[in-house]
Structure 1
Amino acid sequence: VVMDIFKGKTTAAEVARQYDLTVSEVEGWIDEAQRSMENGFKARPKDIREQHESELRETREALGEAHLQIYALKKFKRLLDEDENS
């Protein structure tokens, strides 16, 4: 709906009437959409890359912790099995 307003296909007042909203609610949507689009253009590829690298680092750390837990549980199970067999 907001894109239709941006394209000039309709107005905020028409949308408000059609969806039983106030004009200020529709204008709020328009403002929010404009801010979101502006922020999208402001994001630099370097910032996005740093964010992805950070997420990848966190994922690798979590995977490493899970691997250590599995290793420790397997070792603990082997020790318990040895005690039962003794």
Structure 2
Amino acid sequence: MSGFPDRKEARVRQLMEGPYPVVPAGLAAGAAARGDRLLRRRRTLRGFGWALLFAAAVAFTVWAVLTQPWATPPADVSPPLEGW
């Protein structure tokens, strides 16, 4: 086996023990603002979806009341005349 993994491990240990990098000042505020935007967008889309579902249910109900698809359509041909 080569010593390649040992070099990687040594480099990782050096990075973990060394001084930590400086975090930009506005990183936390920027992340919080982005999270707020994502939550607001998700809430808006969810509300739009519910409104669309409600509108579809109302449209279906209006269509069903007006056309009455459960009723049998009137016959175009009259029944034969019997008893004459």
TM-score range, shorter chain: 0.5 to 0.7
Larger Rg: 2
User: Structure 1 residue runs of 4+, over 4 Å off?
Assistant: none
RMSD over aligned CA atoms reads 2.4
**Distance in structure 1 (CA, Å) of the matches to 2:58 and 2:38:** 30
Report how many residues are paired.
63
Q: By how many angstroms is 1:61 displaced?
A: 0.9
| Bigger share in helix | 1
TM-score normalised by length of structure 2? 0.58
Residue matched to 1:29? 12
Q: 1:71 aligns with which of 24, 46, 51?
A: 51
Q: Deviations over 1:19-56 (max 9, x none)?
A: xx843132122144257x623xx224532111111111
Gaps of 5+ in 2: 67-84
Q: Say which structure, 1 or 2, has more relative contact order (CA 8 Å, 6+ apart).
A: 1
